[in-house]
Amino acid sequence: MASHDKVAIITGAGSGIGRAVAIAFLKGGYRTVLAGRRGDALEETIALSGVGQGRALAVPTDVADKGSVEKLFAKTKAAFGRVDVLFNNAGINAPGSIMLEDLALEDWRRVVDTNLTGPFLCTQEAFKAMKAQEPRGGRIINNGSISAHAPRPNSVAYTATKHAITGLTKTAALDGRKYDIAVGQVDIGNALTEMARRMTMGVPQADGSIKVEPVMDVENVATTVLHMAGLPLEANVLFVTVMATKAPLVGRG
């Protein structure tokens, strides 16, 4: 199936990585559904792509809400007839740099609801759509982050959810086989977005110091996700890490 026949859903498409990936999919010929909390930001992403409205659909969505996710997929199928790609990207962090023992329960739950329950709900709906459509199948790509491998100081909620995303990826990849659904994960390190801009001003390290960290252009992430999506369903990138070459992930910490 050519890219212009494929339909992709991108969550968190109003800013950062989601915005860059949504623009790449639109420019790559996909009919693209942009999901996020703010409709104005989604429309801005579409405008930045320069692609006509006929191939883009903005659907304000709260991924942590089951009814909202169901409406997202219903509107996608009503507009474009199918779902070929889901990029589970929407994510948040707890406010500030809060020590584990001081993190409020409501902040923990808010991160878990968005970063873990949200991708689970979207994956459920994607499975339902992909196994029922003709031709059958599709691809789900989860944004895992390098926090799925190594924590930063004072990041228990974010890091726990990103480790859990790895379990979701592995299980969905296994359970999706019988439906021709391929599931993979992209672990991203220091892509320059508004969320990651603090890296350029200095962030806490494991030894207690504050250091500036190297960053990379977010377009490298968009290119990677677009490549994963473009593979035939007989092939899958289960895990890939795309990161700033000099980011301090590999080493003694």
Type and span of the H or E element at 138: strand 138-143
Type and span of the H or E element at 34: strand 31-36
CA gyration radius for the chain?
A: 18
Type and span of the H or E element at 204: strand 203-204
Q: Which of 126, 158, 181, 186 is catalytic?
A: 158
Cα–Cα distance list, 168 to 55, 89, 121 (Å): 30, 13, 11
DSSP state of 209: -
Cα–Cα distance list, 159 to 42, 64, 79, 162, 247 (Å): 27, 18, 36, 5, 17
Q: CB of 4 within 8 A of CB of 26?
A: no
Burial class (CB in 10 A: 0-12, 13-18, 19+), 223: middle
Look up 158 and say whether it is catalytic: yes
Closest to 127 in 3D by CA, of 80, 174, 185:
174
Q: Active-site positions?
A: 158
